[in-house]
Amino acid sequence: YVGVAETKGEPILTQPVSVNVSGKKVLVVDEVADTGKSLQLIRDHLKAKGASEVRIATIYLKPWSIVKPDYYAKKTNRWVVFPWEVKETVRKIVQKCREQGEPVGPKIEKLVEAGLSRKLVERFLKETLEEEPC
């Protein structure tokens, strides 16, 4: 992802696997199978490095993913924000609103409506605005 609900066209492998996987069974774990392109890339890379078996586990599966994980907890077609991503998500929303000259309030409110803690979202919004004042 390059922004909130924004992806690059094609994933790029920036670091090849750093251990010998030849002849080994490998489990790849990720949060979301969204487009599935990054999972396909890593699966193909591991197989090319000699892995005897590659299985994939994710928390969420999007219905349009080109790769169906071997294991997943839930299907969803919604945007997912994990607890460890809240601050970065708020920061990117603020940045995008500034670039487009839009008010940040309605977009922040959508995060709260989606179930994120208002207190946490407002805290990160305050921190972001203090770090990068208008």
Residue pair 52/43 in contact by the 8 Å Cβ criterion: no
Here the CATH number for the domain that contains residue 28 is 3.40.50.2020
Domain containing 74 equals 1-78
Give pLDDT, residue 50. 98
Same domain, 8 and 38: yes
pLDDT in tens, the chain (134 residues): 455 555 567 899 999 999 999 999 999 999 999 999 999 999 999 999 999 999 999 999 999 999 999 999 999 998 888 888 899 999 999 999 999 999 999 999 998 988 889 999 999 999 998 887 65
| Residues 41 and 91 occupy one common structural domain | no
Regarding whether 101 and 43 lie in a shared domain, the answer is: no
- Tell me, yes or no, whether 3 and 62 share the same domain: yes
For the chain, the domain total comes to 2
